[in-house]
Amino acid sequence: MASTPAPTTADSAAPQARSVLRDPAFLRLWAGTTASGLATWALPFVLGLAVLHRDLGAGGLGLVLAARTVGFLLAVAVGGVLADRHSRRSVVLWSGLAAAAAAPLLAAGLGRSLALMTAAAALAGAGQGACRPAFQALTAETVDPARRQQANAAMTLAVRSSTLAGPALTALLAAWLDTATLLLGIGVLWLVAALVPGRGTAAPASPADADADPDAGPAAPRAGFRAEFLEGLREARRHPWFLAGLGALVAVVALGYSATSVALPLISRDRYGTEWVLAAATTAYTLGALAGALVIARMRPRAQGWAALAGLAAYGAAPLSLVLPVHPLVIVAAYAVAGIGIELFNVPWFTATQREVAPDKLARVSSLDFLVSYGLAPVGLALIAPAIGAFGTAPVLAVCAAACFLVPAAAALVPTSRHFARTAPSAAD
């Protein structure tokens, strides 16, 4: 099955003349995705406030957040199949409504029933997980191919802005509202995510469609859930660049991100004697990610895959900066570089997946992306702390930094990784 070459510069210029931010259909999708991202981020923060107010214990907080993670992981695979089997808009609607329904249940259980809160958190995680691949596929249906990179950059800008402004906004609201009301506010955000996005247009032609037989008879009856999920796995295997990039992403998330999440607070406290380094580094990471999204919205490297993998490898600067007792500003700068790099990877990664994967399998392949990367992140977090206890902070950070550099470099050697495409663009492109 031959892949469609990327459009030429001349072809791409015309659709991009009209910004995707002026497209009402995309703006509705953007608003829904932003609301879901803000709601996803806000729940752990609000539950943390519940611990401060003694409405929830530390052990209960861990149980509730774990239930949300389990709900997410179970639902993301199911959501991918459902979003390819049914309308992507319908999956967004019902998953958003499920997450919204969890909010009053969480509020009702607060300080009264940990079992109810745990079940509600699992429902919230399930809604979050089911909507993620559906949103990815709906973006491909809503935005034409030439503007998808700009659209994905706009999506990530909204998410990063929420993580930057969200803490201040939530703290401000907490001065007037109790925790139960804040939880209900999260439910309102999920209602926005469920109801605001519009229905996408018909999915565009894909490489797989080019090989379809126009004289074929009626489609065969749908296979079972397991068969359809395995069909998504087979589609992912058709794209070596996807498997290589996913492996690199897992290494960076499970090792690099996990190591810095555990080590940065400890180093900020023990080496520098202040929380300022922790706050400044995490803020610099978010600001760097915002800058990276702005850059990649317009930048079109000729070797897009290699450039994206180089951006992913740049995350290694974060754990590397923590190995030696450097000036705190070095750590802050390294985190800014890591933030820039992660979006130089994320936006082309999502765009290439939307372009290269067959539209009728896009949600399942996207669910595999979320399932593997999100699923293995807790494993990394669980292993890093014992590793630091056994071998020391500096050796563990050095190994994790080396993995962040080397695994994306190895992924770049895989055929088709250079352009994140099964067929390289022509010389005219």
pLDDT in tens, 402-421: 999 999 999 999 989 999 99
When pLDDT is cut at 50, 70 and 90, the band that residue 170 belongs to is confident
Provide Rg for the chain, Cα atoms: 22
* Residues 275, 291: Cα–Cα separation, whole Å: 24
With beta carbons less than 8 A apart as the criterion, state whether 353 and 366 touch.
Answer: yes
- The percentage of residues in the chain with a pLDDT greater than 70, rounded to a whole number, is 88
Whether the pLDDT of residue 214 is over 50: the answer is no
H or E element at residue 289: helix 276-296
pLDDT mean over 118-145: 93
Let me know whether 386 and 259 are in one domain. Answer: yes
Q: What are the φ and ψ backbone dihedral angles of 326, each rounded to 5 degrees? A: -85, 175
- State the average pLDDT for the chain: 86
Let me know whether 197 and 238 are in one domain. Answer: no
- Residue 425 forms part of a structural domain: no
SS (H, E, C) 142-171: HCCHHHHHHHHHHHHHHHHHHHHHHHHHHH
Say what the alpha-carbon torsion angle 202, 205, 210, 211 is, to the nearest 10 degrees: -50
Of 210 and 26, which is predicted with more confidence? 26
Residues 6 or more apart whose Cβ sits within 8 Å of residue 175: none
Sign of the CA dihedral 30, 33, 37, 42? positive
* Residues 362, 354: Cα–Cα separation, whole Å: 7
What's the domain count of the chain?
2
Whether the pLDDT of residue 88 is over 70: the answer is yes
Of 163 and 186, which is predicted with more confidence? 186
pLDDT mean over 210-226: 54
Let me know whether 183 and 299 are in one domain. Answer: no
Whether the pLDDT of residue 306 is over 90: the answer is yes
One-letter amino acid for residue 310 of the chain: A
Whether the pLDDT of residue 211 is over 90: the answer is no
pLDDT mean over 63-80: 91
Let me know whether 255 and 193 are in one domain. Answer: no
* Residues 192, 188: Cα–Cα separation, whole Å: 6
- The percentage of residues in the chain with a pLDDT greater than 90, rounded to a whole number, is 59
What is the structure's pLDDT at 429? 45
What is the structure's pLDDT at 425? 60
pLDDT mean over 252-257: 91
What is the structure's pLDDT at 35? 92
* Residues 407, 397: Cα–Cα separation, whole Å: 15
- Residue 61 forms part of a structural domain: yes
What is the structure's pLDDT at 223? 67
Let me know whether 53 and 139 are in one domain. Answer: yes
pLDDT mean over 147-168: 84
With beta carbons less than 8 A apart as the criterion, state whether 263 and 393 touch.
Answer: yes
- Residue 195 forms part of a structural domain: yes
Site of tokens 């209960």: 60
What is the structure's pLDDT at 8? 39
Residues 6 or more apart whose Cβ sits within 8 Å of residue 15: 144, 146, 147
When pLDDT is cut at 50, 70 and 90, the band that residue 180 belongs to is very high
Let me know whether 248 and 341 are in one domain. Answer: yes
The burial of 65, by beta-carbon neighbours within 10 Å (0-12 exposed, 13-18 middle, 19 or more buried), is given as middle
* Residues 125, 127: Cα–Cα separation, whole Å: 5
- Highest average pLDDT, of 54-58, 91-95, 201-205, 223-227, comes from 91-95
User: Which tokens sit at 230?
Assistant: 């395995």
With beta carbons less than 8 A apart as the criterion, state whether 344 and 336 touch.
Answer: no
What is the structure's pLDDT at 357? 93
Let me know whether 116 and 249 are in one domain. Answer: no
The angle formed by the CA atoms of residues 343, 347 and 350, to the nearest 5 degrees, is: 135
324: helix, coil or strand?
coil
Domain end call among 178, 201, 224: 201
B/e letters for 181-209, b = 16+ CB within 10 Å, e = fewer, are ebbbbbbebbbbbbebbeebeebbebbbe
What is the structure's pLDDT at 426? 53
Half-sphere exposure of 106 (CA within 13 A, CB side): 34
Let me know whether 183 and 298 are in one domain. Answer: no
What is the structure's pLDDT at 134? 93
Whether the pLDDT of residue 267 is over 80: the answer is yes
- Residue 310 forms part of a structural domain: yes
Whether the pLDDT of residue 206 is over 90: the answer is no
Half-sphere exposure of 414 (CA within 13 A, CB side): 23
* Residues 77, 239: Cα–Cα separation, whole Å: 19
DSSP state of 299: -
With beta carbons less than 8 A apart as the criterion, state whether 309 and 111 touch.
Answer: no
Say what the alpha-carbon torsion angle 389, 391, 397, 403 is, to the nearest 10 degrees: -120
Q: What are the φ and ψ backbone dihedral angles of 71, each rounded to 5 degrees? A: -60, -40
Let me know whether 194 and 239 are in one domain. Answer: no
5-19, 96-110, 263-277, 375-389: least confident range:
5-19
Domain that holds residue 129: 20-145+170-201
C-alpha 311 chain-centroid distance: 16
User: Which tokens sit at 22?
Assistant: 């002026």
What is the structure's pLDDT at 318? 96
Let me know whether 74 and 125 are in one domain. Answer: yes
- Residue 290 forms part of a structural domain: yes
What is the structure's pLDDT at 220? 53
DSSP state of 175: T
Let me know whether 179 and 316 are in one domain. Answer: no
Of 233 and 53, which is predicted with more confidence? 233
Let me know whether 287 and 380 are in one domain. Answer: yes
User: Which tokens sit at 388?
Assistant: 């630091």
- Residue 50 forms part of a structural domain: yes
What is the structure's pLDDT at 101? 97
What is the structure's pLDDT at 203? 45
Specify the pTM: 0.84
When pLDDT is cut at 50, 70 and 90, the band that residue 222 belongs to is low
What CATH number is associated with residue 39? 1.20.1250
- Residue 165 forms part of a structural domain: no
- Residue 188 forms part of a structural domain: yes
* Residues 42, 80: Cα–Cα separation, whole Å: 24
* Residues 21, 378: Cα–Cα separation, whole Å: 35
What CATH number is associated with residue 352? 1.20.1250.20
